[in-house]
Amino acid sequence: MILFSNVSKEYKNGTKALNNVSFSIEQGEFVFVVGPSGAGKSTLMKLVMREEKATNGDIEVNGYNLNKIRGRKISKYRRSLGVVFQDFRLINQMTVYDNVAFALRVTGATGKDIRHRVPYILGLVGLLPKAKSYPSQISGGEQQRVALARALVNNPSIIIADEPTGNIDPELSENVMELLGEINKCGPTVVVVSHEHNLVRKFGNRVITIEKGEITSDSNGEDWSLGKK
Amino acid sequence: MKLNNIWYLIRQGLRNLWLNRLMSVASAGVLAVCFLLIGAASLFSYNMRAFAHGVEKQNELVVFVDDGMARSVAAKLKKIKNVASYEFVSKVSALEKQLKRLDNEGELFRELMQENPLPDSFKVSLHDVDIIEKTAKKITKISGVQKVKVPKEVAKVITTLKNTITYAGFIIVGILLVVSIFIIATTIKITIYERRREINIMKFVGASNAFIRFPFIIEGVVIGIVAALFSYGILYYGYLYMFDILENFKINVAPIIKENIAPFSELSSYLFGGFLGVGCLVGMFGSVFFVRKYLKV
C-alpha cells in the first residue's frame, strides 16, 4: 500500500531531511508517525502527498510510483488519498457543504452523487446542521471534522492526517482520533503524524518513530509505550 | 475536466468575482483606465491626422491655362490620380476678385484697363500633398497649361506635421500599452497572490490544473469585458460631449478644426473590438499565466 525503499530527501538549501528510510504500511493498518520537531515527519508526509520528490530511493503508494508520476496523474493520485492537515486547510469562501463537495467535484462526480454523498458524510462527522456555515463561523474542532469529511468523501484507500489534533483542545482531539479509528475499522489505511504522546499511547497500534531523518523504531503501540523498539 | 463540471466552474468564477469584489473592481478599474488612456490617445492622434489632412486639402495648386483651353485641361486634370478636386476660376472672376481687394484703387484700375491681363485658372486640391511636386510636373505637361503655382513650403510643413502626428501617436499609444500591460499584470498578480492558499488547497484535494484555472479564466474574461464596456461608454459620451461643444461653437474654434473632427462612428468599431478583444485576452492569459506559479505543488 505504502512502500518506502531507501528513501532520502535533501532540500536545495542542503538540509538533509530524510536519510535512507525504508518501511511499508499494509492496507487497513492504523499507523502513527512520531518524532521531535525537525525529525523529518513533515517531509515524509510531503513525499507521500507528492508535494516533494525523493532525492534517492523509491516510493510507491496505491500502485503509483511517486518518483515517476507527473502532471495529471499527480492530481489523480491525490484523489485516491484523504488528507487532513493541522491547519485544516478549508477554503474560507466556501460553505462547509461546498468544501466537502469540492473534493467530489474534482473527480467529475455528478450533481446527483454530490447531493447524495455530501450530506451522508457530514452526518457521519456530526456536522449536517452546520452544512451552510462558513469555516469562520464554526469552532476549530468542527473545522477539523469538516476537513475529515472532505478527506473521507471520495472513499479513499488511505487517510493521511498531519498533526490533526495540533490546533484543537484535548477533549476534541480524542474525539477526532476516535473518528479516525472508526474510519480505519471500515477499511482505509490511516497514517497519523503526531507529537502528542498521550494520544499515541491511547490509540496507537503501530508506531514509527523518526529522529534526525532516520527511523529509530517501528513497533506496536504497547511496546512503544514501554520504550521497547 | 468533465463536462458536468463546466457549468459549476462558470458559476464558481462568477461567484468568486463577487466574493473578491474589491479586487475585481480594482482590476476592472485599472484595466478601464488603461483603455481610456489608450482610447483617448488614439482618438486624439486620429483627429490630429484628420485635421492635418483637412489642411492638406486646402493646400491647392493654381494652374494657369491659355485662353480657350480650360475645357481640355479640365478633362486631363480629371485623369490624374492625385487630383482630389479642382475648381475653375475664370479670368473675369479672378479680375473681379483682385479689383475688390484693391478697393478704391481697383476702381481706378478698372477705368484705365483696356483688357483683362489675367488668365483662366484652376484651383487644384490633392489627395496626397507629399507628392505635390511630381503632380505639378504632370500638370505642367498638359497642353494649354501656362504655369503651375506650387506652394512648396506649406506642403513641406504639412507633410512634416502629418508624419510627426503619426509617429507621436504610435509612440504614445505604444508607451501607454506597455505601461498598461505592466499595471494590469501587477494587478492580476496581486489578485492571484491573495488566493494562493485557496489554489494550494485545491491542488491537495486533487483538482487538476484546468479545474483550478477555469474559474480564474472566467473571472479574467468578465473583468476584461466590464472594463472594455465601461471605458468605451466613457469615451463615447466624453467624445460626444466634446463634439457637441465644438459643433455648437460654445467655444471659439477655427472652422477648419470643426470641419475635420472625425465622428466617433469612424473609430467606434475599432475601439470597441479592440477593447473587448484585448480585455478578454489580457484577463484570460493574465490569469492563466499568474496562476501557473501556484499550481506547481
Tens of pLDDT, residue by residue over A39-85, are 899 899 999 999 899 999 999 999 999 999 987 889 999 999 999 98
Non-local (6+) Cβ contacts of B246 within 8 A are B253, B257, B258, B261
Cβ proximity of B188 and B255 under 8 Å: no
In which element (H, E) is residue B61 found? strand B60-65
Rg of the Cα atoms in chain A: 17
pLDDT tens-digit profile of A9-22?
Answer: 999 999 999 999 99
Task: Look at residue A189 in the predicted model and tell me its pLDDT.
Answer: 94
Nearest CB neighbour to B206, from listed A79, A91, A92: A79
pLDDT tens-digit profile of A182-227?
Answer: 889 988 999 999 888 878 887 767 999 999 999 998 887 666 666 6
Task: Look at residue A225 in the predicted model and tell me its pLDDT.
Answer: 63
Secondary structure letter of residue B264 according to DSSP: H
- What mean pLDDT do residues B214-222 have? 89
- Maximum alpha-carbon separation in chain A: 51
Q: What percent of chain A is modeled with pLDDT above 70?
A: 96
User: Using 50, 70 and 90 to split pLDDT, how confident is the model at A228?
Assistant: low
Rg of the Cα atoms in chain B: 31
**Looking at this protein, which amino acid is placed at residue A55?**
T
Distance, CA of A63 to chain centre: 18
Contact between chains at B201 and A90 (C-beta distance less than 8 A): yes
Contact between chains at B204 and A93 (C-beta distance less than 8 A): no
Contact between chains at A108 and B203 (C-beta distance less than 8 A): no
- With a cut of 90, say whether residue B16 has pLDDT above it: no
pTM, 2 dp: 0.71
Residue B74 pairs in a beta bridge with: none
Residues of B in contact with A79 (CB under 8 A): 205-206
Between CA A18 and CA B63 the distance in angstroms is 95
Best mutation target, A51, A79, A97, A106, to test chain B (most B CBs within 10 A): A106
User: Which residue in chain A is spatially nearest to B3 when comparing CA positions?
Assistant: A108
Nearest C-alpha neighbor of A151 from the set A113, A109, A122, A193:
A122
Closest CA–CA distance from residue A228 to any residue of chain B (Å): 36
Between CA B54 and CA A224 the distance in angstroms is 95
Non-local (6+) Cβ contacts of B250 within 8 A are B244
Give contacts of B 179-208 with A, CB under 8 A. Answer: 197-198, 200-208
User: Using 50, 70 and 90 to split pLDDT, how confident is the model at A172?
Assistant: confident
Could you tell me if B5 lies within 8 Å of chain A, comparing CB atoms? yes
pLDDT tens-digit profile of B170-211?
Answer: 898 888 888 878 877 787 788 788 888 888 899 888 888 888
- What mean pLDDT do residues B136-165 have? 84
pLDDT tens-digit profile of B88-130?
Answer: 999 888 888 877 777 777 777 777 777 888 899 999 988 887 7
Between CA B290 and CA B213 the distance in angstroms is 10
Task: Look at residue B184 in the predicted model and tell me its pLDDT.
Answer: 77
Contact between chains at B4 and A79 (C-beta distance less than 8 A): no
pLDDT tens-digit profile of B226-276?
Answer: 999 999 999 999 998 887 877 776 566 666 666 777 888 888 889 999 999
**A58-95 core/surface letters (b: 16 or more CB in 10 A; e: else):** ebbbeebebbebeeeebbebbbbbbbbbbebbbbebbb
Contact between chains at B202 and A111 (C-beta distance less than 8 A): no
The C-alpha torsion from B145 through B149 and B150 to B154, rounded to 10°, is -150
Residues of A in contact with B198 (CB under 8 A): 91-93
Contact between chains at A108 and B16 (C-beta distance less than 8 A): no
Task: Look at residue A6 in the predicted model and tell me its pLDDT.
Answer: 95
Between CA A131 and CA B234 the distance in angstroms is 44
Between CA A36 and CA B137 the distance in angstroms is 97
Nearest CB neighbour to B211, from listed A81, A106, A154: A106
Contact between chains at B204 and A79 (C-beta distance less than 8 A): no
ipTM computed for the complex = 0.83
Between CA A52 and CA A69 the distance in angstroms is 12
Residues of A in contact with B16 (CB under 8 A): 93
Ramachandran assignment for A142, one of left (phi > 0), alpha (psi -120 to 50 degrees), beta (any other): alpha
Cβ proximity of B78 and B128 under 8 Å: no
Between CA A97 and CA A133 the distance in angstroms is 8
